[in-house]
Structure 1
Amino acid sequence: MFALVDCNNFYASCERVFNPNLQGKPVAILSNNDGCVISRSDEAKALGLPMGAPIFKWEGFCKTNNIQVFSSNYPLYGDMSSRVMKILEQFTPDVEIYSIDEAFLQFKGFHNYNFNDYATQIRSRILKWTGIPTCVGIAPTKALSKVANRIARKFPKETKGVYVIDSEEKRIKALKWIKIEDVWGIGRRLSKRLQAKGCKTAYDFTQLPDQWVRKTFSITEWKLKKDLEGNSKIILDEPQNKRAIATTRSFEYTYSDIDNIKERISTFATACAEKLRKQDSSCHMVIVMLSSDRHKKDLPQHRTSKSISLSYPTSSSLIISQCAVDAVTVIFKEGIKYKRAGVIVTGLVPTNNHQLHLFDKENPKHQPLMQSIDFLNSKYKSHKIKLGNQDLKRTWKMRQERLSPRYTTNINDIIVVR
């Protein structure tokens, strides 16, 4: 059996944990730089606040309806997510973290368990230990557990946040209820093609011939079909090292001077290097991207990128940062107001097993230096040690005018009980 555990309105729920006055009130969370709405509480949804709404257009609506609006507090959300996932590991060792607020669980050898009671225990423990409300769907396959979770979320009073598909009758009833466009793994284009074939529900999809599905679509859609039929074909994903690592961000404001852009690029490159070292990888290539604000059509536009190949693989922040800064210096144009930039490291190989270069190699002092920097930054839970061309005050410069305290990751923001 598989379970999908999904945190309800996760970002809004995290804000409510430490600010109980928000319980029962409409809450909205904004994207980077306070751009648009990326998370809403059920109360905000009921008022008609759409997902992706640009806040500058909906500011008056939010004030009129007393919707509490917050900037994204990623340190808080990331820490709360980690706590939830650690709790899930107490119920089974087979956990696949699907997103910041979702995880698949597989129950091997749980033959005599009452899964409804077990799922209720999961919900209760997460709520008691973290304050985060969840819904749990359990079924014989991953795809069906998604369907079960959707039912639990849609009918909270009837299901009490838990739904188990443990019979053929329940499976067919669930598949006839869920629309084809709401099935996990079926996107907008695929749903239109299936609807043209007469598929209105997930059940209709399972009635299509196997051979036709494989021939018309791919093995992925065939596996999804078999999963929905109750024949498990989609397995838990094993954690794998990434083949490329990217750090891209929109700037707090538009920048037209090279110095500010160099500082941002250096910070992005350093973040990529840290991620490389976490998975014991090194890169052969650094790609830098730079673009102006495409929404401001009246301004000159410039969007470009540059790649730099390295003669030897490295994970050194010093080398990767220098390469990235050199690249952005070349592609930068005077008079352009830039809004977004990014650094990608690719051509990844294991740090302890790669082809050596006959004439060129990394400075042997870099590796122990990087280990020391990573250790100190990990110990003090913030980036205290940076390169000389980075801003010493902040890692990500974002407009966050409605930011709540980082209750669990900053000692200065811990709640004081009087």
Structure 2
Amino acid sequence: MGRSVYALIDCNNFYASCERVFDPSIRGKPIAILSNNDGCVIARSDEAKIAGVKMGVPEFKIRDLIKQKNVVLKSSNYALYGDMSRRVMETLRHLTPKVEPYSIDEAFIEFPKLITNNLDRFGKEIKSTVKRWTGLPVSVGIAPSKTLAKIANERAKSNPKYDGVLNLVENPDLDAILKETKLTDIWGIGGGLSQRLFQENIRNALQLKQQIDKKEWVRSKISVNGLRTVMELNGQPCLEVENISDPRKGIMTSRSFGKAVTDREDLSEAIAQFISIAAEKLRAQNSVASLLHVTLRTNKYSNYKSKYKYGIELPLQMPTANTAYLIRCGRTCLKKLFQPNLRYKKVAVMLTGILPGSEVQTDLFSKDHYTTDERNLMQKVDDINTKYGSETAHFASTGIERTWQMKQEYLSPKYTTQWDDLLEAKA
């Protein structure tokens, strides 16, 4: 078999599964993960879905259901989830060189040419290896195109008979599976496009696949991207696996406060903290930024006629990834934005105008260029935090008590990123 073969690997109930890896006592129980400030449900285990917990519902509206069904609540622990995602991606790279992270819990891979005659066995090996190395359950969808791999993965996850692995390469059941696949379940087909296709009596993936001989009609009705989808449903790959992701063009850090903030110093701490996080991400992709955006938000529901968002954009004299300099710029922004009579609910910081660090043209007359000493200092800070845990080394301006931090009443430990939170074996 000479053609390419793709697979989509998707972690099952990712957030809940991450919590279960380190806390066996909650395995098999319904789990609901809450958003920032423990507001709404953003993820659920299968048991929670069966118990009637809906996505997006505010926590306070389901407190009776939580007690009745013994639902385990967890505050969103993004440090844990992000590190577990990294471990899954690294595990996949041990199995095949071509890995494209698609989201925090999904990745496309291209199968090595040498094992394309043993696809089912390799799919099961992926599933068992990720489980053994990370503790996380995954589903594997295998197909001759990425669009079909997506469909295979959804079926592998939802139908127990496949045991988490479905191979659609030369599968005699392919058309029957496509016939049962809704248009909105096809990668790249949204609600508006599905409605237009409905008007053309195209109601499922199989019927869309059968339009392959009407390429001009497809292009006119659903664009070139739609034609690519039709080709991919026919096993003709149009989307390759990109194993090197492009650097982000904008990096945002945003949090809601646990309670309304009126003190300028608290806002200054929050801005400094969010800038530190954004700058660390900037350095991780070997980039620098030339624009800083700071936005303050009040409660837009307190007075719907009044302004609730206050933002400013500050061009930097020289592109940089120096946290100390960016924090000083953040203070300048706050000085211009702050109004003492307002109650602030949220701060957002964004770095844009991003360039590769190697392409910055220095200015002989500027004192603000990103010097070698500053680069080395930032690298040492990042190295310390990577080795010993997030914020082991941090700027004093980010605060100590941080009374403004968001509410996280049900937060689990950062098992994999903080030394103090490591599990200890009992004697």
Change (3 A) 1:106 1:83: same
Q: 1:317 offset after TM fit, Å?
A: 0.9
Alpha-carbon distance in structure 1 between the residues aligned to 2:123 and 2:323: 44
How do residues 22-101 of structure 1 correspond to structure 2 at under 5 angstroms?
A: 22-101=26-105
Unaligned 5+ residue runs, structure 1? Answer: none
Residue 158 of structure 2 aligns with an amino acid whose one-letter code is K
Tell me, in whole angstroms, the C-alpha distance in 1 between the residues paired with 2:207 and 2:302: 45
**TM-score of the two chains, using structure 1 as the length reference:** 0.93
CA distance in 2, matches of 1:300, 1:112: 62
The one-letter code matched in structure 2 to 1:213 is: V
Give the distance between the partners of 1:59 and 1:273, measured in 2 at CA. Answer: 39
The answer to which of 5-14 and 165-174 deviates more is: 165-174
| Cα distance in 1 for residues equivalent to 2:342 and 2:217 | 52
How far off its partner does 1:194 sit?
A: 2.4
Confirm or deny that 1:185 pairs with 2:188: yes
- 2:16–2:45 contact (8 Å) kept in structure 1: yes
Q: Distance in 1 between matches of 2:404 and 2:191?
A: 34
1:356 pairs, out of 359, 362, 380, with 362
Normalised TM-score (structure 2): 0.91
Query: Separation in 2 of the partners of 1:307 and 1:248?
Result: 16
Higher deviation after alignment, 403-412 or 232-241? 403-412
Is 1:369–2:377 an aligned residue pair? yes
Are residues 277 and 405 of structure 1, via their aligned partners in 2, closer, same or farther at CA, if it must alter by over 3 Å?
closer
| More off after superposition, 77-86 vs 385-394 | 385-394
* Separation (CA, whole Å) in 1 of partners of 2:404 and 2:77: 12
5 Å-filtered alignment, 1:9-408, equals 9-110=13-114, 112-156=116-160, 158-167=161-170, 169-208=172-211, 209-237=214-242, 238-297=244-303, 301-357=307-363, 359-362=365-368, 364=371, 365-392=373-400, 397-408=405-416
What is the one-letter code of the residue matched to 1:252?
G
Q: State the Cα deviation string for residues 65-114 of structure 1 (Å, max 9, x = none).
A: 11111111222222222222222122211111111211111013135532
Deviation of the 1:412 alpha carbon: 2.9
Deviation of residue 394 (structure 1)?
6.5
Aligned alpha-carbon RMSD (Å) = 2.1
Q: Whole-Å Cα distance in 2 between the matches of residues 335 and 210 of structure 1? A: 61
Q: 1:20 to 1:386 in 2, by over 3 A?
A: closer
Shift of 1:180: 0.5
Match of 1:410 in 2: 418
Q: Is the 8 A contact 2:266 2:402 kept in 1?
A: no
Contact persistence 2:390–2:417 (CA under 8 A): no
| Letter of the structure 2 residue corresponding to residue 305 of structure 1 | G
C-alpha contact 1:302 1:336 (8 A) present in aligned 2: no
Shift of 1:150: 0.7
> In 2, are the aligned partners of 1:29 and 1:40 still within 8 Å (CA)?
yes
- For 2:260 and 2:139, the matched residues in 1 are separated by 41
Deviations 1:190-233 (A, max 9, x none): 22332233222112222343223323343322222211111000
Change (3 A) 1:39 1:264: same
CA distance in 2, matches of 1:295, 1:351: 42
Q: For 1:26, give the aligned amino acid.
A: P
Unpaired stretches in structure 2, ≥5 consecutive residues: none
Aligned length: 417
Summarize deviations over 1:298-357 as a string: whole Å, max 9, x none: 795421211111222111112211112211221222322211221111112222222333
Question: Residues 125 and 108 from structure 1, CA distance in 2 versus in 1: closer, same or farther, beyond 3 angstroms?
Answer: closer
Separation in structure 2 between the aligned mates of residue 18 and residue 111 of structure 1, nearest angstrom: 34
C-alpha separation in 2, matches of 1:68 and 1:278 = 35
- The alpha carbon displacement at 1:143 in A equals 0.6
Contact 1:143 1:184 in 2 (8 A): yes
Alignment check: 8 A CA contact 1:28 1:70 kept: yes
Task: Please give the secondary structure, in 2, of the residue aligned with 1:343.
Answer: strand
Task: Tell me the SS of whatever aligns to 1:89.
Answer: helix
Q: Is the 8 A contact 1:165 1:171 kept in 2?
A: yes
Report the CA distance shift for 1:207/1:394 in structure 2 as closer, same or farther (over 3 A).
farther
